[in-house]
Amino acid sequence: MSEEVSAVQESKIREFYAGASVFITGATGFLGKLLVEKLLRTCPDIEKVYVLIREKKGKSIEKRLEESLENPVFDVIKRQFPKFADKIEMVRGDCVEEDLGLSIQDKEKLLSNVKCVFHCAATVRFDEKMRTASYINVRATRDILKLAKEMPKLKAAIYVSTAFSQCIRENINEEFYETPITGENLLSLVEASSDELLEKITPVLLGKWPNTYAYTKAIAEEIVESYGKGLPVAIVRPSIVAATSDDPVSGWIDNMYGATGATVGVALGLVRTMHVNKECLADIIPADYVISCTVAAAWSVGTKDATPEPRVPIFNCVTSVEKPINWKNWMKYSEKHLKQVPSHLQVWNYFFFMNSNAYMHMICTFLLHTIPAYIVDFLAKCVGKEPLLVKGYQKINKFLNVLAYFTTRTFIFTNHNTQNLWKKLDAADKKMFNFDVSTFDWDEYFYKFARGGRVYLLKDPLDTLPQGRAKFLKLKIAHYTLLTILLLLTLKFLLFLWNLF
C-alpha cells in the first residue's frame, strides 16, 4: 500500500488533474464507468467530475447514476474513498439532441469550470438508423467541440473513436483519411430528409462501410479534424474492447457486444458456428488499457508547452502490432479457460466450428442453429410452453453475420503515437496507468476473461462452480449420446439404401 501511495504522490498525471474539473459523456456506459472510476481513484485531488446523463426507460438521471455507481466496478474505490461520489455532478442532457440538450444554466456551469473533456458517448449498434447514428456519433461530437472552444480553462479534449472507423482499408495508420462526405454535409442531408428517404439512401451513403456505426465514427473524425483546429484535442481509437485485464478488477465487463458476446455464446453452447478466418488477426484490447491510454492522452495534450499541434494527434489503441493473436488462438485460449469454470446456465455442450467459407457457415447455421431451434420450439409447444428459440437464433445469427466482416479480415494498424505516449510516462505513471501491450500475456488474460465473464456477465458466482461442472459433464454425455444415435441412424439409413439398390 505504501508503494501505491508513493507512486500517486510522484505522478505527473495526478498532478495534471489536481484541482481540475472534467466533463464526461457516456459516463454510464462500459468505458464511461471505467473512466469515472479511474479518474476519481487514481487522481483523488480532482475537483469535480461532470457527467452527462439522459433519462432512459422511465428512469430519472438520479436513478440511473445511482444504479451505475452500484456496479461492482466501483467496489474498489468505495473501499478506498467512501465519499468519492460527492465529486460527481450530474448534467441533464442527451447526445441525440442538438447542443446535447443542455440547459443554459448547465452550459454556463461547464464553460466556467471544465478543464478536460472526454467524449465517450456513442451508439454502438451496428444496425442503428442513419438519423440516430448521425445525431449521436456526428452531431454530438461537433457540439462537444463547439462547447470546448468556449471553455477558457480547457487544457484537453479527448474523442474516443474506434480503430475500425476506417475498416474499409487494410492499413490503418494514426492519421486522418478522406471521407466521402463532410460531417456538416451529412448532418444537412439527414436533417433535410424524411425517415423513408434516409432508409432508401443509406446503402448509397455507406458505400464500402459495413454499417452505420463505423461510417458515422469515420465522419465524426472528420468533424474533429475540422473543429479541433487550434484546440488541445486528441483522438483515441481502441480496437475491439473486451473485459478488463487488471484495473480496477480483473475480467470486468458489462455488455455482450462483439467478440465477448460471441465467445460467451460459444461457452453456453448456444453459438456453434461462426464465419471466421481463423488465421486473421483478432485485434482486441482490454478496457482498462483503453482507459489508461485515454487519461494519459489528455495529460499529454494538456501539458504541451507549445501551441496545439497543427493536426489533431491520433492514438491507435491496439494489440496486433506488439502482441498479435489470431482468431484460432483466441478460441483456443477461450476454450481452455472457459471449460475450467463452466456455468450452470450452460444450455448445451461446447461444440463449435469456425468456417472461413461463407457457404459452409450457412450450411452449419442451418444444421446446428436453425433445425435444433425449430425442434426445441416444437417440443415447447407440445408441453404448453412459449417457443423462444427460433426468434432467439434469428437474433444470434444476425449478430454473427454482422461480426463476420471483422472476423474474416486482417487489419494492419500502426501505433507509433501510442507507443511514444507510453515512453513519455515516468515510472510512477506507468505503474498506475498501464497500457503497455508489449508485455501482455494472452493466456493469463483469458484466465481472467473466463472468470470475469461468468461472474459479471452471467451473474453466476464462482460459488456455483460445482453445479456448473456437474451440468457440463451431463451435457457432454448427452451431446455424445445424441451424436452416437444420429450416427447409427445414418448408417442404418445408408444400409437400407444399399440393400434397396
pLDDT given at position 378:
92
pLDDT at position 5 over 50: no
Strand partners, 48: 21
* CB-based contact 182:158 (threshold 8 Å): no
Q: What is the helix, strand, coil percentage profile of the chain, to 5?
A: 55, 10, 35
Using 50, 70 and 90 to split pLDDT, how confident is the model at 82?
very high
Window from 21-25, 252-256, 315-319, 488-492 with minimum mean pLDDT? 488-492
Give the list of residues 6+ apart from residue 439 with CB closer than 8 angstroms, or none. Answer: none
pLDDT at position 178 over 90: yes
* CB-based contact 23:109 (threshold 8 Å): no
Please give the Cα distance from 450 to 116 (Å, whole number).
35
Name the phi and psi angles at 313, rounded to 5: -70, 145
pLDDT given at position 426:
94
* CB-based contact 252:457 (threshold 8 Å): no
**How do residues 36-76 score in pLDDT, each as one tens digit?**
999 999 999 999 999 999 999 889 999 999 999 999 999 99
pLDDT given at position 10:
81
Q: Where in the chain is the domain with CATH 3.40.50.720?
A: 2-257+282-325+411-457
Please give the Cα distance from 383 to 464 (Å, whole number).
29
Please report where in the chains the cell 458456428 appears, as a residue. 273
Name the phi and psi angles at 402, rounded to 5: -65, -40
Please report where in the chains the cell 442404418 appears, as a residue. 492
Using 50, 70 and 90 to split pLDDT, how confident is the model at 4?
very low
Give the list of residues 6+ apart from residue 105 with CB closer than 8 angstroms, or none. Answer: none
pLDDT given at position 311:
82
Average of per-residue pLDDT across 471-498: 88
Task: Tell me the torsion sign for CA atoms 298, 299, 300, 301.
Answer: positive
241 in helix, strand or coil? strand
The grid coordinates listed for 452 are 470475469
Please give the Cα distance from 493 to 437 (Å, whole number).
55
**How do residues 308-343 score in pLDDT, each as one tens digit?**
566 899 999 999 999 999 999 999 999 999 999 999
Please give the Cα distance from 493 to 487 (Å, whole number).
10
Count of residues making up the chain: 501
Q: Please give the share of the chain, as a percent, with pLDDT higher than 70.
A: 97
Could you tell me which of 193, 194, 204, 220 has the C-alpha nearest to residue 135? Answer: 220
Q: Please give the share of the chain, as a percent, with pLDDT higher than 90.
A: 87
Please give the Cα distance from 368 to 375 (Å, whole number).
11
pLDDT given at position 2:
42
Please give the Cα distance from 328 to 323 (Å, whole number).
15
Average of per-residue pLDDT across 420-435: 95
Angle subtended at Cα 97 by Cα 95 and Cα 100, rounded to the nearest 5 degrees: 55
pLDDT at position 21 over 60: yes
The overall average pLDDT reported for the chain is 93
The grid coordinates listed for 438 are 508489449
Give the list of residues 6+ apart from residue 153 with CB closer than 8 angstroms, or none. Answer: 113, 114, 115
Please give the Cα distance from 25 to 38 (Å, whole number).
15
**How do residues 430-453 score in pLDDT, each as one tens digit?**
999 999 999 999 999 999 999 999
> Domain 2-257+282-325+411-457, what fold?
Rossmann fold (3.40.50)
**How do residues 282-311 score in pLDDT, each as one tens digit?**
999 999 999 999 999 999 999 875 455 668
pLDDT at position 7 over 80: no
pLDDT given at position 3:
44
Between the two ends of the chain, the Cα-to-Cα distance in Å is 81
**How do residues 335-367 score in pLDDT, each as one tens digit?**
999 999 999 999 999 989 999 999 999 999 999
Please report where in the chains the cell 407440445 appears, as a residue. 382
Name the phi and psi angles at 83, rounded to 5: -105, 25
pLDDT at position 270 over 60: yes
- pTM comes to 0.93
461 in helix, strand or coil? coil
Residue 313: exposure state from Cβ atoms within 10 A (0-12, 13-18, ≥19): buried
141-146 contact pairs (CB < 8 A, 24+): 141/183, 141/220, 141/223, 141/224, 142/183, 142/184, 142/187, 142/223, 142/227, 143/98, 143/99, 143/100, 144/25, 144/100, 144/117, 144/119, 145/223, 145/224, 145/227, 145/228, 145/231, 145/233, 146/227
pLDDT given at position 308:
55
pLDDT given at position 487:
86
